[in-house]
């Protein structure tokens, strides 16, 4: 029995994925999550074989959730299911430890094959992702410097705070959400600005949209 956790903030997507997945008699959806934070918590508690993750989710995006799941439950494989298609995003997905990358527009045709592959600890990439991107990453190109400032320069907590700021949360609200002091949030915010070379919230919002931390 292959146990699968589905994480997407849209109920219709979760229902569709569940319907496809459970068309296989030896597969079961053991849990559903509506944001990245829930996905990380449930993955740690349920230890599923596969987590199907959307990237653009509230509170904690799919990339950061994938990083945390890969670290906390290394035997659990992650399949990213997204509507976004870009070479840089594929590189970030691979760097986060995900095993597969599937466009939502290809899910009706390829989801079962993708889950089957990652459940068997094999890679799967949506047909419309350039093979050269994957080959380049596996050859070591992902370790080379990337032009300008990238999300990878930030710590996990800093990426989390960037997303919450971009979603319109105040320093106080972020502190309450994360269980830390407001002063600590302010320190993180200052460090983020320094690392990225930004000077205001509007710059952070543009950065978050560009790096798929939030939806525009």
Q: For residue 170, give the CATH number of its domain.
A: 1.10.10.10
Q: Kindly tell me if the per-residue pLDDT of 103 is higher than 80.
A: yes
Helices 182-196 and 201-210, packing angle to 10 deg? 70
- If asked whether residues 117 and 197 sit together in one domain, one would say no
Q: Which residues pair with 78 in a beta bridge?
A: 51
- If asked whether residues 162 and 92 sit together in one domain, one would say no
CB half-sphere exposure, 99, CA atoms < 13 A: 23
Q: Which two tokens stand for residue 131?
A: 């093979």
Q: Give me the chain's average pLDDT, please.
A: 84
Q: Which two tokens stand for residue 17?
A: 């994925």
Question: What is the percentage of the chain residues whose pLDDT exceeds 90?
Answer: 40
pLDDT tens column, 142-185: 444 333 444 447 888 888 888 888 777 888 988 888 888 989 98
- If asked whether residues 31 and 125 sit together in one domain, one would say yes
- If asked whether residues 89 and 133 sit together in one domain, one would say yes
- If asked whether residues 136 and 160 sit together in one domain, one would say no
Mean pLDDT of 11-20: 94
The total number of structural domains that make up the chain: 2
- If asked whether residues 129 and 199 sit together in one domain, one would say no
- If asked whether residues 81 and 17 sit together in one domain, one would say yes
- If asked whether residues 131 and 51 sit together in one domain, one would say yes
Q: Which two tokens stand for residue 207?
A: 């950065």
CA torsion angle 136 131 83 79 (round to 10): -80
Q: Tell me the residue range of the domain where 196 lies.
A: 151-210
């Amino acid at each position: 029995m292959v146990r699968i956790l589905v994480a997407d903030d849209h109920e219709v997507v979760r229902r569709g994925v569940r319907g496809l997945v459970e068309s296989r008699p030896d597969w079961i959806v053991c849990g559903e999550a509506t944001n990245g934070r829930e996905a990380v918590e449930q993955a740690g508690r349920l230890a599923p074989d596969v987590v199907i993750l959307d990237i653009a989710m509230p509170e904690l995006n799919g990339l950061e959730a994938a990083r945390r799941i890969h670290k906390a439950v290394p035997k659990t494989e992650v399949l990213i299911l997204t509507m976004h298609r870009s070479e840089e995003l594929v590189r970030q997905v691979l760097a986060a430890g995900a095993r597969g990358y599937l466009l939502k527009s290809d899910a009706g045709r390829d989801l079962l094959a993708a889950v089957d592959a990652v459940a068997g600890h094999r890679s799967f990439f949506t047909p419309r992702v350039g093979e050269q991107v994957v080959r380049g990453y596996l050859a070591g190109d992902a370790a080379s410097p990337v032009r300008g400032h990238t999300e990878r320069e930030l710590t996990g907590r800093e990426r989390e705070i960037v997303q919450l700021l971009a979603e319109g949360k105040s320093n106080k609200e972020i502190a309450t959400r994360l269980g830390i002091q407001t002063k600590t949030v302010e320190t993180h915010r200052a460090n983020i600005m320094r690392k990225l070379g930004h000077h205001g919230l509007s710059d952070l919002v543009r950065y978050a949209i560009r790096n798929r931390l939030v939806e525009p």
